[in-house]
Amino acid sequence: MIMSAPTSIAEKPTQNILKKEYKISSNNNEYSIKISYSDKITITINEIESIASFYYIADLTLLSLTKLNKMFKMFDTLEEAYLCLEQLLDKNKINIYISGENISCGIKIISPIGKDEEIIIPFVKKEMDKSLTNDRLCNEVNILKKKVQILENENVNLKNLVQNLDLRIKELEKIKIKEEEEKIQIDSKIISGNDEIEFIKNRLNEYYLNKKISFNLLYRATRDGDQPSDFHSKCDNIVQLITLYKTTKGIKFGAYTDIGFDCSRKWKKDLKSFIFSLDKRKIYNAIGDNHIGCYKENGPSFGLNDVAIYLYDNVPFLSKKPNGHRTYNNITSYIHLNNYEINNGEQFFNLQEVEVFHVKGY
């Protein structure tokens, strides 16, 4: 609030010595302004938290105040002028102006005629009394000690924070290493991402609960040969096998057998077996009988009674002949596997790759 003249001055008791102190911010510095009255009005300015050996002072009389601003003509005594000046410092904006070694104080007011004005009070630079300088130095040292203590405490807190963050980073690194170690590794040209491995693993967890699962490559058509005999020489009489198929159109599906393959020339029951579509992320579980084809002239085939995955007799797995291999429309040995679903609705397919893995839980 900006005022033009003091209010209720007469109600304020007269004292032999009146004084007051203000702390203001100006020019990015903190200042202490002290005003006192006895036989004259004295205003001093010090820069807070400075170890300077000097200060600034203004000794004011009623005449000098009147020269600063005509509003002070209304007062008959210096005490009344002091009380007015105190109220102005209480309620109005104070600015500090520095020009070289000269300093002045500006107090914003509104004159009696309603015009914005600023009372500019000039100050004189004076050397501090030696004892006062020493006291000020001691005070500054104490302030600095407190600041040092605060910084030391902050440093301790920051060190603790850094240590805690380091511990957390190490914990996260251990978790990451553990996760990497627990990731299922598979040497496959068909599997293209860890999400596909996880999809197969999640189904296998029904048989390998709370166990780490490994996949050991036994057979790859492009590496080991694509004749049925090549497959049987690598995979016969080994239990717990995953077979992956990838067609020349990029369709990916597969199947699991718990009992494995041989050349006994019959279809075998394996209710733990299942067929899956990697593209659709769907599982087709075994029902009924006759799930695993064990014939030397065939590759890994699944599901009698309209075979779910059938590789034709003595036809190379990677043959590009028309109608090379096939699936059927209505599968009775695997539930819900109908309408050529694993081959995206088509009956015949040619293969780009076939892989067989031994599954182990430990």
Tens digit of each residue's pLDDT, the chain (362 residues): 344 444 444 444 444 578 889 888 887 888 889 999 988 999 999 887 666 678 899 999 999 999 999 889 999 999 999 999 898 888 878 889 988 888 999 998 877 666 788 899 999 998 876 655 566 677 778 888 888 999 999 999 999 999 999 999 988 888 776 666 556 678 999 998 888 999 999 999 999 887 888 999 999 999 999 999 999 999 999 999 999 999 999 999 999 999 999 999 999 999 999 999 999 999 999 998 889 999 999 999 999 877 899 998 899 999 888 888 999 988 889 999 988 999 999 999 999 999 999 999 88
Strands (E), the chain: 18-26, 29-37, 41-47, 54-60, 94-99, 102-110, 116-127, 213-220, 241-247, 252-257, 266-268, 274-277, 282-285, 292-294, 301-302, 310-311, 325-326, 348-349, 351-361
345 occurs within a structural domain? yes
Do residues 33 and 47 touch, judged by C-beta distance below 8 A? no
Whether 322 and 239 share a structural domain: yes
Is 259 within 8 Å of 274 (Cβ atoms)?
no
| Dihedral pair phi/psi, residue 165, rounded to 5° | -65, -40
Confidence at residue 24, expressed as pLDDT on a 0 to 100 scale = 87
- Do both 210 and 349 map to the same domain? yes
Asked which of 77, 110, 130 is the last residue of a domain, the reply is 130
**What single DSSP character describes residue 113?**
T
Note whether 109 and 21 are same-domain residues: yes
CA distance 64 to 106: 15
111 and 211 belong to one structural domain: no
Establish if 264 belongs to a structural domain.
yes
The reply to whether 101 and 200 lie within a common domain is no
Per DSSP, what are the bridge partners of residue 87?
none
Q: Are residues 21 and 114 in the same domain?
A: yes
Report yes or no on 55 lying in a domain: yes
93, 209: one domain = no
| CATH code assigned at 83 | 2.170.210.20
Q: Does residue 169 fall inside a structural domain?
A: no
pLDDT at 343: 94
Whether 18 contacts 79, CB under 8 Å: yes
pLDDT of residue 177: 67
Looking from the CA of 41 toward its CB, the CA atoms found within 13 Å total 21
The answer to whether position 4 is within a domain reads no
Based on the fold, state whether residues 223 and 342 are members of the same structural domain.
yes
Helices (H), the chain: 62-68, 78-91, 130-182, 194-204, 221-224, 228-235
Q: What is the pLDDT of residue 182?
A: 59
Cα dihedral: 326, 332, 335, 336 (round 10): 60
Same domain, 98 and 235: no
For 352, the domain range is 194-361
- Number of Cβ within 10 Å of residue 292's Cβ equals 25
Distance separating alpha carbons of residues 57 and 45, to the nearest angstrom: 6
Exposure string for 299-337, b = 16+ CB within 10 A, e = fewer:
bbbbbbeebbbbbbeebbbbeeeeebbbbbeebbbbeeb
As for how many domains the chain has, the answer is 2
User: What pTM, to 2 d.p., does this model score?
Assistant: 0.54
188 within a domain of the structure (yes/no):
no
Last residue of a domain, one of 115, 130, 145: 130
Report yes or no: 343 and 248 within 8 Å, Cβ to Cβ.
Answer: no
Judge if 218 and 309 occupy the same domain.
yes
- 276 and 356 part of one domain: yes
Q: Which of 105, 130, 155 is the last residue of a domain?
A: 130
Same domain? 249 vs 332: yes
Q: Give the C-alpha separation, 25 to 97, whole Å.
A: 12
